[in-house]
A and B are shown apart, each in its own frame.
Chain A
Amino acid sequence: MTFTTASGKGNGPVVGAKASAAGPRPGSPKNKQPGNASARKWAEIGLFVGPALLVFLVFVVYPVISAVRYSFYKWNGVKQFSEAEFVGLDNYRRALFGQGIFKKAYTEPFLTALSHNFEIIALSMAIQLPLALLVALILNRQFRGRTVVRVIIFAPYVLSEVITGVMWFVILDPNGIATRIVEALGLHSPAGGWFEDVHWGFWTMFFVVSWKYLGLAIILFLAGLSGVSKELQEAAAIDGASWWQIQRRINIPLIGPTIRIWAFLSIIGSIQLFDMVWVLNRGGTQGQYSTVASYMMDKGFYRSDWGYGSAIAVIMFLISLVVAIGYMLVILRRDNSTTAKN
């Protein structure tokens, strides 16, 4: 942030011993505070930030560091961690480059789960994004009941993934209503059941995820569209621009930042997707829509391979970190530089 330079200036004496150890600081004797005032200030800072920092360090930072540490060990979680066997990078090797039996038992399921995450990302961008954008553009006008429509479309966002998952589990029961509707139309429902079918299971899961999250995208895009100047659109219309031209040349570019942030959140969410997948039979009975997170929980927690599970967690973290940083550097940088100019 822009405050960085301010923080070091003019308050050198306040930090007392530390500051003088770091060298002479600018600061007239006038604003030199007596020692106990400085101590008081630090006590206040400690009082305000301390609790949050403590909770954050204990429940976020320490477990993340522990996950990295565990990932170098073979450990079943039953005996003391001090007795666990140090295996170096073995857990990572199993997940990524396993050979022979390890390939079948570790590498293949992991890479399958990972590929599912990336398929979800690709499908979100190829299906959810255009669909949500189109709906938002179409709904971006005055009509009776507009507010109600927006509220209803947004409602699934507030339902938990668990409840959404169970709801669709019932609807998409092999003997349920979805099957009957499809068969009444003269079509065949997936042979193995909507979720169990090796080919269709993944698509069914993606449909359910989309049902829950499309509304969020639509609402975010509509909020962005409400900020687009109406004069601009009217001027274009007077000049004879078609509806689609107005959308393509004015509305879509102007809500670009919103779209790009949505895409960012969607990508990160897709990499960490867990709840929905887990509720729907723990990633499918044959792992037909397992994700990295569901695979990690299955191996680490439910099969007590804590070291291996932690390695998967670390890999997942590194992937989301690389993707996030790459996205920010390549795509979001443009937005930030334009806002900085304003």
Chain B
Amino acid sequence: MTLKTNSRRPVKGPTPGLWARYRAYLSRTGLSPSASNYFSIGVAIAGVGLTLGPIIYLVLGGFKDLHQYAMNPSGLPDPFLFRNYWGILSTGLFWRQMLNSAFIAIVTTVGVVILGTMAAYPLARYKFKGREVLYGVFVAGLMFPLTVAILPLYLMIHSWGLVGNPFGVILPQIAFALPVTIIIMRPFVAALPKELEEAAFIDGVTRIGYFWRILLPLARPGMVTVGVLAFIGSWNSYLLPLLILAGDPAHMTLPLGVTAFKGQHGSDNTAIMAFTSLSMVPALIFFIFMERRIVEGLTGAVKG
């Protein structure tokens, strides 16, 4: 990488230009080879500070009471008060909303991964008339964002009596996550060795048996990638829950719960800080374990 260039000083080059003289100067003064490295580290520290600073401030603010917050908004809590956090963790509503979020995200993820992989299999392997048209229908779904469909979608779910029901959120979320899933899974399924399929058929395995017993285990890496993206999308979603699950806080997901809590505790900023901090925790834990998968999925989606 660029750092290595420092050790290869181009002083012997045909025309020792300004840059070479600068390098020589750096090495004479002892700034080389790490001067530019310090600059990188400085930028890294600034980036980390700007990212973590607000989050840490939020978490610390949750340990204050309103008096401390007013007198000393920037310093450490003194003393640390656990009342805000304890109050939220002990009432059950927070846990309830977290469970709602988890249930909706998990069912959405499982649903979209299974349906998407199932659809990807014939689209990748069967030869049939209209296959590309069918694929095109799903791909066109990328062009239809949820915001465009939300008003009729709400009316439909309302008329089915699914308002307040987690499945009123899950089913549309599965539908809107299908295009990306199928687009990522189809080449993945197509890349599995064909010989495997032929060998399985010779052994008398049916297509369906092949799908369940051989394809699904082999396609797991792709499914994990797709699933991680679907899970984050569902966990963070706001618009659908806002319409479908509003009203009763016991039905809400965490993002909705945060806004409801903020509405209720309008002026109690420290309680809002505590609630918001706590609601970050599951996403951050998930992120720490899945960071690599998320990046893989995103770069895969971008490149693919």
Contacts and interface: CB of A to CB of B under 8 A. Distances in A.
Please say whether chains A and B are actual partners in one complex. yes
A166 B276 contact: yes
Contacts of A49: 118-119, 122-123, 134
Given A139-B40, A145-B44, A233 B2 contact: yes
A59 B211 contact: no
A93 interface: no
Contact of B302 (A142, A240, A261): A261
Interface in A30-89: 41-42, 44-45, 47-49, 51-53, 55-56, 58-64, 66-67, 70, 77
B121 to A, nearest CB: 5
A239 B302 contact: no
A59 B128 contact: no
A60 B302 contact: no
Interface in B8-36: 8, 10, 13, 15, 17, 19-20, 36
A53 B119 contact: yes
A60 B236 contact: no
Given A3-B131, A170-B276, A296-B147, A135 B8 contact: no
B119 A60 contact: no
A219 interface: yes
A103 B198 CA distance: 67
B207 A52 contact: no
Given A63-B152, A67-B152, A220-B299, A139 B129 contact: no
Given A139-B43, A310-B152, A161 B236 contact: yes
A170 B122 contact: no
Interface stretch (A120-128, A176-184, A195-203): A176-184
A116 to B, nearest CB: 15
Contact of B1 (A60, A142, A160, A219): A142
Given A19-B129, A59-B171, A219-B295, A162 B144 contact: no
A211 B50 contact: yes
B294 A158 contact: yes
Nearest to A307: B151
A84 B226 CA distance: 42
B116 interface: yes
Given A11-B128, A220-B299, A321-B143, A143 B284 contact: no
Contact of B52 (A143, A152, A154): A152
A163 B178 contact: no
A138 B41 CA distance: 9
Contact of B131 (A7, A47, A156): A7
B232 interface: yes
- Looking at chain B's contact residues, the main secondary structure is helix
Interface in A5-27: 6-8, 10-11, 14-15, 18-19
A300 interface: yes
B259 A52 contact: no
A268 B8 CA distance: 44
A44 B40 CA distance: 56
B232 to A, nearest CB: 6
Given A64-B149, A170-B273, A234 B8 contact: yes
A235 B52 CA distance: 38
B5 A234 contact: yes
Contact of B2 (A44, A223, A237): A237
6 contacts: A61-B144, A139-B43, A143-B37, A149-B48, A169-B262, A234-B8
Interface of A: 1, 3-4, 6-8, 10-11, 14-15, 18-19, 41-42, 44-45, 47-49, 51-53, 55-56, 58-64, 66-67, 70, 77, 135, 138-143, 145-146, 149, 151-163, 166-171, 173, 175-177, 180-181, 211, 215-216, 218-220, 223-224, 230, 233-234, 237-243, 246, 257-258, 261-262, 265, 268, 272, 274-275, 278-279, 293, 296-297, 300-301, 306, 309-310, 313-314, 316-317, 320-321, 324
Given A48-B122, A170-B269, 10 more contacts: A7-B127, A45-B128, A63-B152, A70-B151, A77-B155, A135-B43, A155-B51, A166-B262, A257-B303, A306-B155
